[in-house]
Chain A
Amino acid sequence: MSQITFNDVSCTLGKFELININAIINSGEFFVLLGPTGAGKTILLEAIAGFHTITGSIMIGDKDITDLVPEKRNIGFGFQDYTLFPHLTVEENIRFGLKYRNISSAQADRRVRELIAISKLEGFEQRKPDTLSGGERQRVTLARALVIQPEVLLLDEPLSALDEQTKEVLRDEIHRIISTFNVTTIYVTHDQTEAAMLGDRIGIMMKGCMIQVGTPTEIFYQPVNEEVAAFVGMENILEGLVTSSEEGITTINVNGSNLHVISTYDTQKTKTVRVCLRPEDIILSQTAVKTSARNLIKGTVTRLSPYGTLIRVQVDCGYPLTVIISRRSMEDLHLEVGSVVYASFKASTVHML
Chain B
Amino acid sequence: MSHDNPLQHPEVQVASGRGYLLTFLISTLLMGVSLLLVANHAMAPFGLMLVLSLCAGLAVIVQIYFLMHMDLSEAHIWNTVALVLTIPLFILAIGLTAWMFSTLYERTMVMLPTMHGMAGMVH
Are A and B physically bound partners?
no
